[in-house]
Amino acid sequence: MARQPALATFSAIIHSESRGIEAILNLLARGMRSFDKETATYWSELLEVGLENTPARETWRELQHMVASYFPGRGTLIEETYLKGEAKGRAEGVVRVLEARGLQIPDAVRARVTACTDLTVLDDLLVRAITVEQAEELFSTP
């Protein structure tokens, strides 16, 4: 892995259905520790994308501990984690705007906002949070 990351990565992808894939992935994970964060992230995520919907992909996802995404829109663990964090931050922003405006936020409204993971919906809620008279109006049709 350390000497030829491309060969190691593509080899693991090709052998994703083999009985020894778990051992191979463990070796790859240990080998990636010798890389700088950016390089390790690139090869780690490329491997996850290449493993597609094989059982090996879930094994690899358990071994990943990286941060950035080089393959947006592919549903990698790194991307999912980023998007969950982004949604949480936007939801907190909606609640904060309502609080800053002095509006009462019923538990049901707070729960609905914080449970939302759709970034487009959260953006719309943030804009609406600026003008609504009551927090419950966030979800009413404009």
Beta carbons of 102 and 71 less than 8 angstroms apart: no
pLDDT in tens, 12-42: 999 999 999 999 998 898 888 788 878 888 8
pLDDT of res. 142: 61
pTM: 0.55
pLDDT of res. 66: 44
Q: How far is CA 54 from CA 98, 111, 141, in A?
A: 44, 35, 43
Q: Which residue has the higher pLDDT, 8 or 32?
A: 8
Token look-up 């663990």 returns: 77
Domain boundaries, the chain: 5-74, 79-139
pLDDT in tens, 92-102: 999 999 999 99
pLDDT in tens, 35-78: 887 888 889 989 999 999 999 998 998 887 543 556 666 777 77
pLDDT in tens, 96-134: 999 999 999 999 999 999 999 998 999 999 999 999 999
Rounded Cα distance, 106 and 135, in Å: 8
